[in-house]
Structure formats: C-alpha cells, structure tokens
Amino acid sequence: MADAPMPHPDADKLTGMQHEKQYDFQLSESYFYKSEKGLNKEVIEKISAFKEEPQWMLDFRLRALEIAERKGPPKWGPDLSGLNFDDIYFYVRPQEQQGTTNSWEDIPEEVRETYRRLGIPEAEQKVLAGVGAQYESEMVYHSLKEEWEKQGVIFLDTDTGLKEHPEIFKEHFATVVPPEDNYYAAVNSAVWSGGSFVYIPAGVEVDVPLQAYFLLNAQNIGQFERTLIIAEPGAKMHYIEGCTAPTYNSDSFHSGVIEIIAKERSDVRYSTIQNWSHNVYNLVTQRAIVHEQASMGWLDGNLGSKVTMKYPSCYLVGNGAYGEIMSIAFAGDGQHQDAGGKVVHAAPNTSSSIVSKSISKGEGCSSYRGLVQIHEGATNAKSNVECDALLLDETSKTNTYPYIEINEKTAHIGHEATVSKLNEEQIFYLQSRGIEEDEAMALIVRGFLEPVAKELPLEYAVELNRLIELEMEGSVG
Amino acid sequence: MATLTDNPAVSAAAVEALTERLQEPAWLAEERRAALRTFDATAWPTERDEDWRYTQLKRFSIDGLEPTDGPADATVGDRIAMRMRDSDAEGILVNKNGRTIETVRKLEEQGVVFEDLNTAVREHEALVREHLYSVVDAKSGKYHALNAALWQNGTFVYVPAGIEVELPLGTFTTADRGGLSAGRTLIIADENAKVTFLDEYTSEPFDGHLFHGSVTEIVLKQGAKARYLSLQNWGRNVAHMGKMHARLARDARLESLTVSLGGDAARVEVESHMQGPGSESEMLGLYFADQGQHYNQYTLQHHEADHAFSDVLFKGALRDASHAVYSGVIVVDEGAQKTDAYQTNRNLLLDEDSEAVSIPQLEIGANDVRCSHGSTTGPVPEDQRFYLMSRGMQPEVAEHLLVTGFLYEVMSRVTLPKAAEYVERVVQAKLGVPGVKEKL
C-alpha cells in the first residue's frame, strides 16, 4: 500500500478548502418546494410564477421547451442513456424567500454548514472580490466587496439581475447562446434558475477574482444555472466557478449556460474547476462573444462528474480579438470527460489558442472535441491547437476529434496532438532519488498539467494539484 | 440541404438482368440480391450524418442515371493508349462503361492470376467466392451496397505464396457515355507474396454525367506486401465514389497512394485494418482541386493487433472556389500495445474562395502506444515567394515551384517513378505551367 501523498507546502493557505475524497458531507434534505419529476409546461409555469417573472421570460421559457422537444438529444458523443429526464427534479427551492442574502448568518444552518466545509466563507475573506453560492436550484448567497460596488460593478444572482436591471438584462440575455443552439441549452433556457449576473462598467478593472460555488445536495436533481457576464469596453475581470455534489447512488444532472459578452478592449477570464461527484451528468454550454481588441480566456478543469460534455467557445467578431481555451481533464474509472473548445474567427486579425491536456486512468475515457472555423473575410487569422493525452493504464482510453474548417486563404492554422503513457524512465529516476512511486507519478502528472495550472491564481493551482493527488491516490496497485 | 432520392433504375430487375447477362453462378446472384435488399433498407446519407456533413451530397446524386451498358465506342482511345505505353505495367485491363474491352498480359508465370472479375468468377470460382465481399460488404454504406449489388466488371489479382511480381499490374477505367457505372477490384496476396497495383481513372470529354462507384478489397496474408496506387483523373463531368479497404495479417505491409485530380466531385475512403502483429500501413494522399472541384477523403487506421505501424500523410492544394475535406481516424483497440500510428494532413489554400476542412481524429484504447497527428492549413508562405521573386522569378513561376514543392513531400515517397512523373505532369497542367498540357 502506498503512503498518502504529502501535503502541499502551500496547503495552509487553503484552510478548509481541501476536499474530502468521498464528499461525505451529505446533508438531510428539507426543502421549501420540490417540483414533480420530469420536464413539462407545468413545471416551467410554476418556476416562473415562483420567481414573479415578467411575461416575456415565461414566453421565452415555453418557446425553449418547444425547441427542446423538437430538437431531441444529440446523436453524437458519450453515452447518455443513464440520464432519464422523467426521473429528474427540474426545480428544487431550498428556502421560502426569493433572492439572496449577503450575510452567511441568514442562510439556514444546514446549508451554511455545507459551504463552511467547502471553505467558501474563508476564501471569500482572503482572496476574492465577491462570492455567490448556489444550492440546488437557487442562489442562496451573493456578496460583493464595497470597493467594487462603488465603481458600479454588479454581481448578483441572475434572478435578481432580471428584477433589478431589466434593461441591461433583456438587451444581452440569450444573445450569445440562444435556445436554438443545442438541446441542452434549450432545456436550460426552459428551466433555468440561479447563476450569476455580472456587469463590469467601462474601464473598471476588477483585479481579484469573483467566485460562484455550485452545490447539489438532493438526489435526482437537475441544476440549470444561467450566468450572464457583460464586460463593457476596457473592463477587466476574472470569474471562477466551482462545483460539487455529495455521492448518491442515483444520478443527478447539471446543465448550465454561461454567456459572456466581452466588449471592445475588455479582458475577461472564466475559470472552472469542476469536481462534481461521479454520478453527475455535466452538460454545459459556455460561450463568449469577443469584440474588437478584446481578450477572452476560458480555463476549464474537468475532474469530477460521470459524463461531462463541455466545449467552451469564443466567437471572435471584432478586429484583433483574441480567444484562448485551456482545458484539462482527468477521467478516472467510469468517467467520460468529453471536453474541448470551439473558436469561430469571424473578423480580421483575430487569433486563438487551444491547449488541451487530458489524463485517463483505470477505465476512464477522456475526449477532446474541438472546432476551429475561419470565416471568409476573416483575413490573417491565426489559430493553434495542441492536445496532449496521457494514458495511465492499459484500459484507459482517449479520443481526439478536432474539426478544422477554413474558408480564408490568409489563415494560418495548426493542430497537433500526441498520446503517450507515463514515462517509466522518469518514474525510475525519481524513485532513485528517494521519491515513492505514487508521489513520482503524481509529480509527473502535475508537470504534464503545469502549462495550464500556471494560468490559475495560486490558491486554485494549489487546489488543483491537491485534487489531482487525491485522484492519483492508489494508482500504484 | 440536398436530399438524395431513389433511382428506379436501381431495381431487382436490373440485378437479375445483370447477373443473367454475365451468366453468374447462383451464389453470386444471391449475394447481389441480398446487397440490393441492404441497399433498399439503408437510408440515403444526409448532411446531418456525421460522416457526410461536409460532403456536397447533391454532387453524388444518382438520380435519373441509367446503369451503363457498354461504351459507344469499344476502342481504348488516345489517352488510355498513351497511359498504357507510359506505365510500364506488366498486365493491363481496360474497362470502359462497365465492360472490359482490352486485356494485356505479359506474365503467365508461377500461378499469378490477373483477370477481369467476370472471367475470374468462372475460372477461379473458389478463390473469388472465398474473398469477394469479405473485406467490403453491402453493410459498409448506401453507396457500397449499390456497388455490391450492381458492379458490372472489375479486376481480380491473386499472387501465390512466395511469388514477387516486380512490375505493376494495372486497370485503366474510362468512359465515353454518362450513366451509372460500378467497378470492383479484388486483390489477394498470399503468404510472403508481393504485388503492385495501379488503379487509374481517366476520360476524354463526352456528353452527359457519369457516376462511377469503385470498391477495392485487398487481402494481405502473413508477410505479404502490396503497393496500391489509385490515380483519379476523370473528366469534369464525373462523380467518383471510391473505397479501398485492406486487411493485413501478421507482418504484412501495405503502401497506398490515393491521388485525386479529376472529376467534378470525388469521395474516397481508404481503410487499413491491421489484424496481425507487426503489420504496417503507409497511406499517402495527394489532391489538387480547382475550378470548383469537391474532394472528400476519409482514412481509417484500425490497429486491431499489437506492434503494428501506420502512417497517413495527405497533402493537397486548392484554388478557384474549390472545396476539400480530409477526415481521418486512428483507432487503437484495447490490447493493441506498442502501436505506432501517425496521421498528417496539410492544405495549401491558393485563393480566397476555396475551403478546406480537416478533421484528424484519434480513438485510443491502449496506453503503451505512440500516436500523434497534425494538421495545418495556410497560404503559400509569403517569405518563400518573396525570396524566389528576389532571385528574378515571375510570381506565377514562384507559385508553381512552391506548390510543386509542397506536394513533392508525398511524391517523393512513391516508389513508382513513372506513376509519380504522370501525377506531377497532371499537377503542372492544372497549375498552368507552360508547355505541359501538350504532353498529356
């Protein structure tokens, strides 16, 4: 038996942020309201009524339901046959009052306990500009430090965003990801609840991250958060999303839609470290519209979940726009990480970079699925895609499906992928220096992920390494 | 979206008439009938099907086309005659509109069989019956079911164990009338045998539109080696639907080259299944699309056994609003350890209106493997053009040189100098290099 991995030297900065491997914080279920199982018109009308939404939003939801019914689930990609909509609660409301609080004291003790175990309140004090916390279908907590509020930054849950800023909301909502886009976006559009609404005024640079934390506690629940981020010209921000759920025997479903509008010269980063328990179907649509000279970066870490289908995308619509997607995936036994990225070059002088690093262990399967599209007239576009896969065991699997469509002569496009296993010589060398075999393997895996991990704020890079160590535990038979 | 529709000429009656005319044995007639049933039961591909989403399907429509029933003129014609002279082949078959019109056989040695497929069905029935449809059957897709039911003629090659045929055997397929034609090739190389096969398509201008379906099955037994060259240079009124599929036993080796230069539209599928340890496949591709041509190229490197090697290199140039798709996949089965597999696609875009799509894919189920793929698309490098012009070259001449150089990486790996020369001449004629056209 191998020893437990050594704690990371920076671990003390993360008091309370370490994850227990088995997510053993499962709490009792008591809810103010839980919808009937299944997706139908009544559930949607009920959600809308609870939220006291304007008529246009209810109409939008019902139209999205029609689109979803017409479209049907995609016929490609991983096996989703275990996902049965008739067995899913599409809306679960943890507390009676609508809207969020900015004081942890106002949150029911049980829910607060969960976030405390995840270390959210501590992290908020230390490293974040603002925090949002979603529990089941509703955001329960949202706060923003005063200095940012004064500068006109808006950081609210999406439902409150709709109530308090209807003009900004209606102007941008569903313009990036319309319900027609894909089946799961249509389902989300029909039953969305919670998520963050972020507005950064022109020229404001929020230099510490905003974070939202998503938690699923009930069994057979579906979570459909909807995040809308608007960065006005010259604005700068970094948004971090974390996800987790306790382990149950039956499957849950998470299908978020994240829409980002990065206006001229803005700089937006969105980082997700997804660590759902291994029975969550995680089918997410993330997309950014990137305007002139703006820069958009997605960092997508997929460690948890049963099946993930997530392809963050950048639509480069302004001259000189830049899009970057960095993706890491770790697929353990029974997991299928179908991740990747999509960049559409629709304006001249745009550039993009996709870096994907995946690790498959045991019977795990990780896929890279990507699209780079250069429209006619998008002159001098440049794009580079790099996919590296590491296979730890004989039964591990990896797939690469890069689509490259080029309609412009002056484009410079490159794609490269490699597949390899852990290098025995490197392990041997580290062992000869007195490092245990499992620690040596973890070290090599961390080195493999380094190009992506270094893009994260220090605290999150440490957290990521810690999660990888947990996943690697017991790798040496 | 284009939707393909059934053609009443593809019918049970057509199958019966064909098998009757060819006086085929009962087993083959039954195979054809079964293939037609599969054809009828298989839906036409649509652009919603992943494998067909970049294919301009309407250009592969068989709507209104009648199965061809022999050529208008049964002579080989100047172009084929020239190819026959130039291609140092040891055995040559000429097929025109679904009939074999000429057979030249310089070899009669050591039991090598080189025969048109209709004759082979009669004279080498056991061999044909054992292998025909064993590599590509009607279930491989709508168009291949059509071929399995209605192939009119083709080529049969059998090289006995230990025999090495040095010079190529070749089939030249041509046409002088429009319609629907289908050819089939079956190549069997027994243990440690060696064979080279040239599969050429060309036509002089004629009225009407031709759809030609071609299926090639290659069986390589232990230690056998095959070189397979497909040179598609049809006239611009032809749609070509081709599939080459090889099955490799232990230590067998395949070297294939697929060239697409002619036709209005062409889709070729090149598949190699490495079923024996130590087998090797080199699959090269070269294409140059101009004047709105549409090329689709699919490759499959299927590593079923361990210690096998495969390498795909497809390079192409595009201009004049043409369209090219390369899609390939390396599949490594669980247990196929020590696999070495590579895949590269490079496109050169020579004008604004052309479009290149590249989808190099990997599906890896074993961990002790070396697999990589790469894809690049771009224009002729400006600095290289500038350098050549600074040495006094005209811009067109510099471009000709750079395109030829780009494609040379593929040509330099072809071990048949005469075939390589011919391809180079066709490319240069398409580029408009002065004085080349006359030599074709």
Which uninterrupted H or E stretch holds B32? helix B26-41
Comparing C-alpha atoms, which of A259, A163, A258, A187 is closest to residue A43? A187
CA–CA dist B99, B183 (Å, integer): 9
Q: Residue B356 in contact with residue A409, Cβ under 8 Å? A: no
Whether the CB of B355 is below 8 Å from some CB of chain A: the reply is: yes
Question: Is the Cβ–Cβ distance between A156 and A45 less than 8 Å?
Answer: no
A234: pLDDT strictly greater than 60: yes
Instruction: Note the helical H segments in A51-165.
Output: 55-71, 109-118, 120-127, 146-150, 158-164
Least confident interval from A52-66, A135-149, A152-166, B137-151: A135-149
Residues of B in contact with A418 (CB under 8 A): 371-372
Residues of B in contact with A425 (CB under 8 A): none
Q: Which candidate, A320, A166, A304, A185, places its Cα nearest to that of A247?
A: A304
SS3 A17: coil
Q: Are B261 and B291 in contact (CB under 8 A)?
A: no
- Considering chain A, what is the average pLDDT of its residues? 85
User: Which H or E run includes B359?
Assistant: strand B355-364
Instruction: Give the per-residue pLDDT at A118.
Output: 65
pLDDT at A245: 65
Q: End of a domain among B251, B276, B301?
A: B276
Q: Which chain B residues touch A402 with a CB distance below 8 Å?
A: 358-361, 375
Range of weakest confidence among A87-91, B54-58, B227-231: A87-91
Q: What percentage of chain B exceeds 70 in pLDDT?
A: 98
Instruction: Report if residue B352 sits inside a domain.
Output: no
What integer pLDDT is reported at residue B89 of this predicted model? 85
| Chain A residues closer than 8 Å to B310 by CB | none
Q: Indicate the length of chain B as a whole number.
A: 440
Amino acid found at A233 = P
- Residue contact A406–B365, C-beta within 8 A: no
Using a CB–CB cutoff of 8 Å, tell me whether B340 touches chain A.
no
B355–A410: do the CB atoms touch at under 8 Å? no
Confidence category of residue A463, pLDDT binned at 50, 70, 90: confident
Output the DSSP codes for B110-157: TT-EEEEHHHHHHHTHHHHHHHTTSSS-GGG-HHHHHHHHH--EEEEE
Can you tell me the mean pLDDT for A115-131? 71
B222 domain residue, yes or no? yes
Whole-number Å distance between alpha carbons of B339 and A476: 24
Q: Which SS3 state, helix, strand or coil, does residue A286 take? A: strand
- The pLDDT of residue B432 is 86
Residue from the list A376, A394, A418 with its beta carbon closest to the beta carbon of B372? A418
pLDDT recorded at residue A20:
40
- Higher pLDDT, residue A101 or B129: B129
Question: Residue A475: what pLDDT?
Answer: 60
Average pLDDT over residues A328-332: 92
Distance between CA atoms of residues B86 and B426, nearest Å: 14
Q: How confident is the model at residue A4 (pLDDT cuts 50, 70, 90)?
A: very low
Distances in Å between the alpha carbon of A343 and those of A17, A283, A288, A311, B163? 33, 19, 10, 10, 54
The answer as to whether B328 is a domain residue is: no
pLDDT band, residue A191 (cuts 50/70/90):
very high
Question: pLDDT at position B167, please?
Answer: 85
**Domain boundaries in chain A?**
1-28+424-477, 31-310
Q: Which residues contact A217 (CB under 8 A, 6 or more apart)?
A: A26, A27, A29, A114, A135, A136, A245, A246
- B173 assigned to some structural domain: yes
B contact test, residue of A393, A415, A441 with most B CBs within 10 A: A415
Specify the residue for token string 């087998």. B279
List the beta bridge partners of residue A285. A257
User: CA-to-CA distance for B247 and B187, rounded, in angstroms?
Assistant: 11
Q: What does chain A come to in residues?
A: 477
B328 touches chain A (CB under 8 A): no
Count of beta carbons in the 10 Å neighbourhood of residue A62: 15
Residue A277 clears pLDDT 90, i.e. is over it: no
Cα B316–chain centre separation: 15
**Count of domains for chain B:** 2
Burial of B323 (0-12, 13-18, 19+ CB in 10 A): buried
- CA-to-CA separations, A250 to A73, A219, A366, in angstroms, rounded: 21, 7, 23
pLDDT score recorded for residue A477? 42
Q: Which residues, 6+ apart, have CB-to-CB distance to B16 below 8 Å?
A: B29
d(C-alpha B66, C-alpha B209), whole Å: 10
Question: Residue A398: its chain B contacts at CB < 8 A?
Answer: 362-364
Q: Show Cβ contacts of residue B4 under 8 Å, excluding neighbours closer than 6 positions.
A: B44, B45, B46, B57, B58, B60, B61, B62, B63
Please determine, for residue B279, whether its predicted confidence score (pLDDT) is greater than 80: yes
Q: Do A416 and B347 touch (CB under 8 A)?
A: no
In whole angstroms, give the CA distance from residue B220 to residue B333: 20
B378 close to A (CB below 8 A) = yes
Size of interface A-B (CB pairs under 8 A): 112
Last residue of a domain, one of B222, B241, B276: B276
The pLDDT score that the predictor gives to residue A28 is: 59
Does the pLDDT value for residue A102 go beyond 80? no
Question: Of A76, A395, A399, which is closest to B362 when you measure between CB atoms?
Answer: A399
Q: On the CB side of B222, how many CA atoms lie within 13 Å of its CA?
A: 2
Check whether residue B180 and residue B58 sit in a common domain. Answer: yes
**Rounded mean pLDDT of B65-85?**
88
What residue type is A368 in one-letter code? Y
pLDDT at A147: 84
Percent of chain B with pLDDT over 90: 76
Mean pLDDT to the nearest integer, B173-192: 95
**B423: in domain:** yes
% residues pLDDT > 70 (chain A):
87
- A8: pLDDT strictly greater than 50: no
Residues 6 or more apart whose Cβ sits within 8 Å of residue A134:
A140, A157, A194, A195, A212, A213, A214, A215, A223, A225
* Residue B54 with chain A: CB contacts under 8 Å: 405
Strands A412-421, B370-378: pairing kind: antiparallel
Residue A26: its pLDDT value, please? 54
Domain membership of residue B385 as a residue range: 380-440
User: Does the distance separating the beta carbons of B365 and A397 come in below 8 Å?
Assistant: yes
- Nearest Cα neighbor of A297 from A158, A456, A123 is A456
When mean pLDDT is compared across A3-12, A436-445, B306-315, the lowest value belongs to A3-12
Rounded to an integer, what is the distance from CA B320 to the centroid of its chain?
24
Question: Helix/strand/coil (H, E, C) string of A196-235?
Answer: EEEEECCCCECCCCEEEEEECCCCCEEECCEEEEEECCCC
From the list A391, A411, A415, which residue is nearest B375 (CB)?
A415
Contact (CB, 8 A) for A476 and A2: yes
Chain A residues with CB under 8 Å of a chain B CB are 76, 376, 389, 391-421
Place of tokens 């004291």: A105
Residue B17 lies in a domain: yes
Those of residues 262-321 in B touching chain A at CB distance below 8 A are none
Taking the C-alpha atoms of residue A63 and residue A57, their distance in angstroms, rounded to an integer, is 10
The Cα A163–Cα A50 span in angstroms is: 13
For residue A412, list chain B residues with Cβ-Cβ distance below 8 A.
378
- Chain A residue numbers with beta carbons less than 8 Å from the beta carbon of B358 are 402, 404, 406, 415
Domain membership of residue B392 (yes or no) is: yes
Of A369, A224, A361, A210, the closest CA to residue A282 belongs to: A224
Compute the average pLDDT of residues B327-340: 94
- B70: which 2 tokens? 């022999």
B389 and B262 housed in the same domain: no
Mean pLDDT score, B242-260: 97
Residues 6+ away with beta carbon under 8 Å from B81: none
Distance from CA of B45 to the nearest CA of A (A): 15
- Assigned token pair, A146: 């005063």
ipTM score here? 0.78
